[in-house]
Structure formats: structure tokens, C-alpha cells
Amino acid sequence: MKGILDVENRAASPDQLGGLQRDILDFKKQRNAIILAHNYQLGEIQDVADYVGDSLGLSYQASKTGADVIVFCGVHFMAETAKIINPAKKVVMPDIHAGCSLSDSCDPADLRRYLSERPNTYVVAYINCSAEVKSLSNVICTSGNAVKVVEGAPRDREILFVPDENLGQWVMEKTGRPMKLWKGFCHAHVLFTHESIMRVRRENPSAPVVAHPECVKSVRMLADHICSTEGMVKFTRENEAGSFIIVTEEGMLHRLRKEVPHKKFIPGPTNHCPCNRCEFMKMNTLEKLHACLRDLQPEVDVPEEIRRRALQPIERMLSIGR
């Protein structure tokens, strides 16, 4: 568990920061706040965060913080998860409209209908879903522990994996467990294609391809290693290669270049662009983070009945670990 639970203050020293960033750190102290940032956030946001990580690492940080305020720099379902775990704390995010295509692809009413027709279903929900979908699920997983979570699912139940079909397929390949798959996808990761990754691989023949499991199968089959964003830091640090092709959202490259500085990171291209950007993640800006810490809003809230039911599958996931 070490490494997941240690808060690493990766904030740059004050003399490396701009005025807005220094104000943010001052506000943070005054408010007794913690800034949690996903690996896809802008570099200038990552540089003032107390912890930068993947969805699982961020959930652990949210579960153990003593701060009064959690400032979540990520997308809405991530901040919502922090609120579910911490009902007494104020959870704010720079832009409350930073959504997620995967989360939007699973309507709770559709899931409720599915479950009423198939009552023996065991729902494994990828954390990229709404609080209401979580409240209808048996266990939550992230890309960092999906294989372990599915391996532990009861053998006498039919598993439904929501909402990412690509991650679900990859987990089925790894575990050999049959699952029904919801038809959702990450609008950014599906932009990587077999052709675009073949091209960058040909141009960089000695660089291992490291891909996120939200990629489609024809891309995953080109990867030397498939893992969560946190797994990418570990893999590239430990692997002997000097350069890597990183097939995920471009924000990841900031963290990799900062923490594995002696190696080279090449962004995975799409058919139309040399890298891949999630516009929802990038709705959070330094200016909005500044305003959010100053005003302590916009605040994330979850209806108590949904929160209570969503907490159980999240706690089940946290007890399983990475």
C-alpha cells in the first residue's frame, strides 16, 4: 500500500511559481485545503497540487486527508467520489461542468432497467460513472485495480461491467472471466487508431508503447505494456528503455517528464493530431483554481440517499487495493 497512501507534495518551490500559483498556495494554507489533481490536468495545476495521481491514488488520498476542504482538479465523477467518501468536508472543483463521456454513457435509469430484468447480476462499475450508477453497483474499480477486482467477484453471479467496453474487454482477456459489457467508451482514448500508433512506432522502433486500457483493441494489441496512468510512471521508471510512446491523454507527459526526467516521452498521436487532449480535463484552468480556492465554490454535492449507497462499493474497492 506504500506509495498509494503517502501524500507526496510535488508542488514546485515558491521561486519557480508565478504570482497566481503563489496566491493559490496562500489560499490553500488559509483554508486548510488539499489540492488533488489527476495526471491529465494542465502542468501548471499539477505543479501546485499536494498529490497528482490516477483515479485510485486520488480516491485513497481523499479517504485519508485531514484537510477541511478538498479542491479536486479533475472531472466531475472524481470530485463526486471524494464527496461520497467525505460527506462532512467541503469538496470544490475549479469547473463544475468538467464532465466525462464515459460517465455520461451510462444512464442510471437504463442500468436500473437492466438489473430489474437480470436480478442475479453483479455490477462492477469503473469509477468513471455517476454517483447514482455507483449506488446501483456492487463494487467499483479503476484501471489500476480492475483485474484484481474482477478476479475477486463471486463465481455464482453474472458480471456486468459498466460503462467502458474497452477496459471491460481488456479485463476479460486478463482474467478469463466472462462479463456482459456496457457499450460506453472514452471519447479521447478511442481517437488513437491502429494506423496512428503503427506510424509512431515505425518512427521510434526502440521505444516501448505504453497504452491505457481505455484504448480500442486494435491499439492495445500494439502495446508493450497496458496500465493505468500511475502504472505508466512506475513502468517507465523501472524499464531499461530510454524513450517511450505514451498512448493516453497528453497531460500525462508533464508528470512523466517531471518525475522521470532522464528519459524521453513521445505522445501517442491520433489520425489528426500529434497528441490527444481531453477537453473536459482541460476545462480546469489556473485562473479557475485560483477563484475556486478564494471563494470555496463551485461546491460538489451528492444527495444523501445516493451517497450512502454509493459509499459501500467504493469502500469495497478501497479494501481490495491496487
Task: Note the residues at the interface with ligand 13P (CB under 6 A).
Answer: 39, 54-55, 128, 142-144, 186, 212, 214, 228-229
Q: How far apart are CA 255 and CA 307, in angstroms?
A: 32
Q: How far apart are CA 87 and CA 299, in angstroms?
A: 12
User: Closest CB to ligand 13P among 144 and 184?
Assistant: 144
Residue 127 C-beta: closest distance to ligand 13P, Å: 7
Tell how strand 225-226 and strand 139-141 pair up.
unpaired
State the helix-helix crossing angle for 286-295 and 19-31, rounded to 10 degrees.
Answer: 30
Query: Rounded to the nearest 5°, which phi and psi values hold at 234?
Result: -65, -50
Q: Please state the closest distance from residue 10 (CB atom) to ligand 13P, in A.
A: 16
Q: Closer to ligand 13P at the Cβ: 23 or 224? A: 224
CB of 288 to ligand 13P, least distance (A): 19
In angstroms and rounded to an integer, the radius of gyration of the C-alpha atoms of the chain is 19
Distance (Å) of CA 152 to CA 101, 134, 145, 314:
28, 18, 11, 15
Helix (H, G, I), strand (E, B) or coil at 284: coil
Phi, psi of 7 (to 5 degrees): -70, 125
Nearest distance from residue 274's CB to ligand 13P, in Å? 20
Q: Residue 84 CB, nearest distance to ligand 13P (Å)?
A: 17
Nearer to ligand 13P, 212 or 290 (CB): 212
Min separation Cβ 19 and ligand 13P, Å: 30
The β-bridge partners of 209 are 245
Residue with smaller CB distance to ligand 13P, 283 or 291: 283
Beta-carbon contacts of 161 under 8 Å, excluding residues fewer than 6 positions away, are 124, 125, 126, 150, 167, 168, 171, 179, 180, 181, 182
- Cβ-contact 132, 313 below 8 angstroms: no
CA-CA distance, 277 to 248, in Å (whole number)? 9
Minimum CB separation of residue 20 from ligand 13P in Å reads 26
Pick between residue 38 and residue 90 the one whose CB is nearest to ligand 13P: 38
Nearer to ligand 13P, 81 or 143 (CB): 143
**Which CB atom, from 57 or from 269, has the smaller least distance to ligand 13P?**
57
